[in-house]
Structure 1
Amino acid sequence: MKLLPSDIVLILPPRRWKERRYSLGLLFISGYLRSNGYDNIILERKLLAGREYDNSLARELLLKKIEELKPKIIAFTGTILETNEIIELNNKIKEKIEVFSIVGGPQASVCPEEFVKNNFDAAAIGEGEETILELVRAIENNDSDLGKIKGIAYKDKEGNIRVNPRRELMDISFLPLPAYDKIDMAYHTAITNEVVRGIPVKPAMVMSSRGCPFLCSFCSTYKVFGRKVRYRNPESVKKEIEFLKNNYGVESIWFSDDTMTINKEHLLKICRIMKNLELFWTAQARVDLVDEDVVKEMKESGCLQLEFGIESGCPRLLNEIIIKQINLEQVKKAVALCRKYKIRVLANFMMGFPTETKKEMEATFNLAKSLKANIYSFSILTPLPGTDIFNRFFKDEIIMNDYKDLSFFIGKKKFNKSEVDDLKKLNDIWRKKLWLQVRIRNLTHPFLFIKIFFKLSHKKERIKFVFNKIKKLIKFNKHKSMGSEKRFGYEWGKYHQMDSNYEIQFKKWISPFSQEIFKDKKVLDAGCGMGRNSYWPLKYGAKELVAFDFDQRSVGAAKKNLSPYPNAKIEFKSIYDLPRENEFDIAFCIGVIHHLENPDLAIKNLIRAVKPGGIILIWVYGHESNEWIVKWINPLRIHLTSKLPLPILHLLTYCFSSLFWIFLKLFPQKSSYLKQVSQFKFFHLHSIIFDQLLPKIARYYKKDEAEQLLIKQGLKNVGISHPNENSWTVYGYKS
């Protein structure tokens, strides 16, 4: 059978669609297939057609397009962070159509058997161009003998997993042009500071060499490209850069080579190319492989920035754990040379290495601070499978299901073998301090940005970029405040004790569900305050509960109240910045949505965090039966009480609460809600009144408005209940 372009579909995982950096590996494979007579399609962010990125939307569009195309072959690329997503997507695709599925990339090269076990037909090990081409030819010719194809894992006819020997590293001298025409290059080459990090330019990525001979224990790149460094022909590199400049208006190149400075002869040829083309460029380098002649030549050819992997300020770690093969004098000398020739420095550091002490971490932070780099990356060690550090310290302890929890900035306990428990807290503090330094230096030394503005064209687009950055910053700060998070933090600092009446309230707020719904489930409490709602699912037998809030006082109170439960995790996090995906059985958000400036974004993030079939439940103020509050109290809150200093408001509400407390005790109440309130302790009553007059934002939803909060997000079987006849509980199921 003759394969059509629509028969071969290469897929970029949806979680990567928002990134400005494109997948060079996927583009090279696509171009290589096309040059050998097999045109193909790449599915990536182009499917969004200009719409704002949303992971759920991206996945939906991807699955719909594949069902429409009905390809014979699909091929995913994927890192360890995308492993669970691509396995899930592959299974959904195979439920709809009959297709031969391939996976490649770093994770497939390290653990190919895992993908074959999980319904992939083949996993490509190492470089993908020749391997994918052979697989495509075999499928076209109905040749089921995959045993002769080097560098793959697959199942034989008996269902046994076979791993064929790796193929030899290919000659990359004259690789075909990457398939830039198949992706959204308008997006990827728009002015941004995310590719050439920290510098707003129209960027592109180019690879001039593959392979790395060094032994860094945390890196798995060599598993794909090998230890031997191979180089593209400089003329081939030049033609590619000219193509990018002429067709996409590119202003700067980020070279993706693992170490650009490893071969001086090759580097100087690239410098001449860049100088003749009059383009800016940046690259990754090693501190022990730069000297004055090299740095001077790079500067004269348009090099704006060098990225150094320094990793640690501790000689013991550099020598014994990281195997970096550098010393601190080389670090200081390399940075000083760059400063002398006005080349910016991006300094990469890590913390949380096995056996690392707090004192050694402080040495790393102090070194980072003393270097005064132009930009930093300061992450927490992530033990990637296949790396030497993984094999030495984590092998057999981390399973595939753990991959979804890997993060470069969280430092979860199961990935932490340092002598510091709370890596995230320390990392957050140090990163903020380093970034504050960076911002101050950028303000006091703006000359590079001024030079770029006047030297380069696209000035309108550049001005638009700056204004968009300012707008995003303002929007972020608004979101960051969550309307009233600091004011609520004050409240939960005052009223943090638990009370049995909270359980009565909670059961009403989760109606029509009963407490049994939480048994053996993984639960998310979004906007947990002092943990009064998180407590009960744990009591009812939840397998695990994650609660978060965006005020440290609230988080501290919640940690204290939930301390009896080791299966509770309390995090400092904004509901607008919730990276979790398909993880929870139930997500509830009680008393938060009506205080948010952007409730739709918050609900969208909650939905993304829940597994398919999982429950999302929110509780909001109701308009019905609260008309008197909307008419009289709300204007008072908007124009006066939400602006008062918190101690003054606290005192005023104390006086009013005292009078109301006496009224409730002296006079019988007809309202079921007031009957319930009359049983509350005084501190609880005071907290309710304080809570009503405290926030900057408070919405009161009519029934249809409350239902629409979930219906318009596409949830199934949306239902609603009316707790105390003055509020709404809305729930639905993720499809």
Structure 2
Amino acid sequence: MILLFHPRATRPRNCRLPLAVLALAAVLEGREEYEIVDGNLEEKPVEALLKLIDAHPVQLLGVSTMPGPQMVSAMEVSREIRKLRPHVKIVWGGYFPSIYPDAALNARYVDFIVRGQGEDTLLELIDALRGNRPLDSIRGLSYKDAFGLHRSNAERPMRGPDSFPWSPFHRLPVERYLRPSFFGKRTAVHHASIGCPFNCSFCGVHAAYGRDEKMESPERTVAILKHLIDQYGADSVQFYDMNFFLREDHARKLCDLMAPLKLRWWCEGRVDIMSRYSDETMAAIAGAGCAMIFFGAESGSDWALEEMQKGITTEQTLTMAKRTRKFGIIPEFSFVVGNPKDPERDTRETLRFIRRIKRINPDSEIIVQHYTPTPQKGSMYGDVDDKISFPDSPAGWATKRWMDFTLRIDTSAPWLKSTTKELIDNFELVVASRWPTVQDIRAPKWSRILLKTLSSWRYTLQVYSYPVELQWANSFIKLRKPKRESL
């Protein structure tokens, strides 16, 4: 038997379909005996895994691992399984081992890691464990040899979603994942593509998946969504693609096919691509139920955007603030503030830029984060590599300092002065209080009124220092933080 484990990443009330392990389950379906254990639903995942291990001859435990809380859960559960059932081989896959392969392999409880897309690599690893092929023939695999040395095989070219079977939804209690959200009462999630063709210097996606994006055909996307509607009552969906609108012709066809489904939905897009879309396509997107689009605006400084290799301009961001307002779509603009080249200038210019966005489109949701670099293959970003020494093990990444870094709570960036960091944090608090996110469907009306009242004068007069009254109010109101759920 093969076990697929999705470590806990959020509270049960916020859990969504574990798309990563469902993708792996799809290629196992009908050819291998397997079980899925989701730590977001299981209160005691170690006990659930042990019960399966003791009842079946388990050959491999596959663990899907994102940085942050999920990595900590993966570490704790894997370590316990290795201690209690040492004969079970453990493989980590996903974003964390793909960008931190040596750190993952340094853990004694990790035997293999899968870098990038994992479906084919998993099948070939199972074949190798049965003695049918050598480990060094498996693309995308890293492992420890007989001497404990790390070995990394060649990269595996990505295949598009249409190359693989549908997710076997029947293997999970789907109704427990369709949670209420701003978009509907029963919100599903879906990946309609994999990868990203862009090369933003602070991002680790291209390090994990290369610079390519493979899109699912519009017909298959709509068929899967219709299945979720008909079988499980989904009324809304969040698309987890890095770039949902990569091509206008594809976007137009997909939206034309989605319109009859009457779903409300959220996705991610790029301002440079969508600023070139025709009004007819924008109207089709809105007509298909698109309620909100996340844009990585990143900076209010064109020089900083060029340093990041972002490939967009501030003018394109302003264009999308105008166009989304025209078509009744809420834009969600994310900024990574404090560029290492000149963090003080970047901060000043970006805060002014955010105020411009709010004048153009007051409904814009604003996400403010510290500039947080990710290790890349080769040079990451200027001389940042020389300024940050990243942890060399999962245990190192699990410490408070590096959890704060991963979650962009406090990067402890050596180039960011404490006064600049404080300005960024205070500004974020003032803006979030002046315009409380519409995505928190549990917040009572009075809480929004209180936050708006307390913050209005500060935003108007641009007084951001010592916002003690807002800190006090937010300490007990505890509005949903979109940036925490966007990571």
Question: Which interval holds the TM-score relative to the shorter structure?
Answer: 0.7 to 0.9
Residue 200 of structure 1: CA displacement? 4.7
Q: Which of 71, 78, 91 lines up with 1:90 in the alignment?
A: 78
Aligned residue identity for 2:432 = W
Q: Which of 405, 414, 417 lines up with 2:415 in the alignment?
A: 417
CA distance in 2, matches of 1:43, 1:422: 45
CA distance in 1, matches of 2:128, 2:446: 50
Match of 1:383 in 2: 373
Aligned residue identity for 2:3 = V
Q: Which of 322, 339, 342 lines up with 1:336 in the alignment?
A: 322
Note if contact 1:380-1:423 (Cα within 8 Å) is conserved in structure 2. no
CA 1:192–1:229 in structure 2 vs 1: closer, same or farther (change >3 Å)? Answer: same
SS in 2 for 1:304: strand
Note if contact 2:252-2:284 (Cα within 8 Å) is conserved in structure 1. yes
* Correspondences of 1:426-575 after superposition (within 5 Å): 426-439=423-436, 469-470=443-444
CA 1:184–1:469 in structure 2 vs 1: closer, same or farther (change >3 Å)? Answer: farther
Q: Does 1:189 align with 2:178?
A: yes
SS in 1 for 2:390: coil
Match of 1:133 in 2: 123
Match of 1:261 in 2: 245
- Note the alpha carbon deviations across 1:397-437, whole angstroms, 9 max, x for none: 22232533424442242x3423x325553233222222233
CA distance in 1, matches of 2:282, 2:137: 47
- Note the alpha carbon deviations across 1:610-665, whole angstroms, 9 max, x for none: xxxxxxxxxxxxxxxxxxxxxxxxxxxxxxxxxxxxxxxxxxxxxxxxxxxxxxxx
Aligned residue identity for 1:113 = D
CA distance in 1, matches of 2:28, 2:383: 38
CA distance in 2, matches of 1:22, 1:182: 11
Match of 2:348 in 1: 362
Note if contact 1:352-1:416 (Cα within 8 Å) is conserved in structure 2. no
Note if contact 2:184-2:264 (Cα within 8 Å) is conserved in structure 1. no
Q: For the aligned residues, what is the CA RMSD?
A: 3.2
CA distance in 1, matches of 2:133, 2:325: 59
Aligned residue identity for 1:251 = D
CA distance in 2, matches of 1:94, 1:472: 50
Match of 2:288 in 1: 301
CA distance in 1, matches of 2:382, 2:83: 36
Note if contact 1:46-1:183 (Cα within 8 Å) is conserved in structure 2. no
CA 1:289–1:298 in structure 2 vs 1: closer, same or farther (change >3 Å)? Answer: same
CA 1:89–1:341 in structure 2 vs 1: closer, same or farther (change >3 Å)? Answer: same
Match of 2:485 in 1: none
Q: Does 1:62 align with 2:45?
A: yes
Match of 1:506 in 2: none
SS in 2 for 1:202: strand
CA distance in 2, matches of 1:242, 1:158: 51
CA distance in 1, matches of 2:425, 2:40: 34
Q: Which of 210, 218, 221 lines up with 1:226 in the alignment?
A: 210
CA 1:432–1:28 in structure 2 vs 1: closer, same or farther (change >3 Å)? Answer: same
Residue 244 of structure 1: CA displacement? 0.8
Note if contact 1:84-1:404 (Cα within 8 Å) is conserved in structure 2. no
Q: Which of 18, 27, 30 lines up with 1:23 in the alignment?
A: 18
CA distance in 2, matches of 1:185, 1:424: 42
Q: Which of 303, 313, 332 lines up with 2:300 in the alignment?
A: 313
**TM-score, scaled relative to structure 1:** 0.55
Note if contact 1:45-1:184 (Cα within 8 Å) is conserved in structure 2. no
Q: Does 1:78 align with 2:52?
A: no
Aligned residue identity for 2:251 = L
Note if contact 2:5-2:39 (Cα within 8 Å) is conserved in structure 1. no
CA distance in 1, matches of 2:357, 2:306: 21
Aligned residue identity for 2:84 = K
CA 1:43–1:367 in structure 2 vs 1: closer, same or farther (change >3 Å)? Answer: same
Residue 286 of structure 1: CA displacement? 1.0
Match of 1:106 in 2: 95
Match of 1:277 in 2: 261
User: Larger Rg: 1 or 2?
Assistant: 1
CA 1:384–1:23 in structure 2 vs 1: closer, same or farther (change >3 Å)? Answer: farther
Match of 1:323 in 2: 309
Match of 1:236 in 2: 220
Larger relative contact order (Cα-Cα within 8 Å, sequence gap ≥ 6): 2
CA 1:224–1:75 in structure 2 vs 1: closer, same or farther (change >3 Å)? Answer: same
Aligned residue identity for 1:307 = F
CA distance in 2, matches of 1:575, 1:394: 39
CA distance in 2, matches of 1:379, 1:201: 29
Aligned residue identity for 1:165 = A
Q: Which runs of 5 or more structure 1 residues have no equivalent in the other structure?
A: 1-6, 49-57, 194-198, 443-448, 450-464, 478-550, 556-572, 578-735
Aligned residue identity for 1:175 = F
Residue 382 of structure 1: CA displacement? 2.2
**How many aligned positions are there?**
437
Aligned residue identity for 1:67 = L
CA distance in 2, matches of 1:289, 1:126: 25
Residue 339 of structure 1: CA displacement? 0.7
Match of 2:141 in 1: 152
Aligned residue identity for 1:385 = P
Residue 14 of structure 1: CA displacement? 2.1
CA distance in 1, matches of 2:82, 2:365: 44
Match of 1:406 in 2: 405
CA distance in 1, matches of 2:424, 2:174: 35
CA distance in 2, matches of 1:254, 1:24: 12
- Identity, in percent, stands at 23
CA 1:166–1:391 in structure 2 vs 1: closer, same or farther (change >3 Å)? Answer: farther
CA distance in 2, matches of 1:110, 1:127: 13
Aligned residue identity for 1:329 = E
Residue 381 of structure 1: CA displacement? 2.1
Residue 272 of structure 1: CA displacement? 1.4
Match of 1:166 in 2: 155
SS in 2 for 1:305: strand
CA distance in 2, matches of 1:159, 1:144: 20
CA distance in 2, matches of 1:576, 1:261: 35
Residue 216 of structure 1: CA displacement? 0.9
Match of 2:232 in 1: 248
**TM-score, scaled relative to structure 2:** 0.81
Residue 23 of structure 1: CA displacement? 3.2
Q: Which runs of 5 or more structure 2 residues have no equivalent in the other structure?
A: 452-466, 479-487
CA distance in 2, matches of 1:393, 1:231: 33
CA distance in 1, matches of 2:26, 2:34: 9
Aligned residue identity for 1:374 = S
CA 1:332–1:231 in structure 2 vs 1: closer, same or farther (change >3 Å)? Answer: same
CA distance in 1, matches of 2:190, 2:151: 35
CA 1:412–1:298 in structure 2 vs 1: closer, same or farther (change >3 Å)? Answer: closer
CA 1:68–1:390 in structure 2 vs 1: closer, same or farther (change >3 Å)? Answer: farther
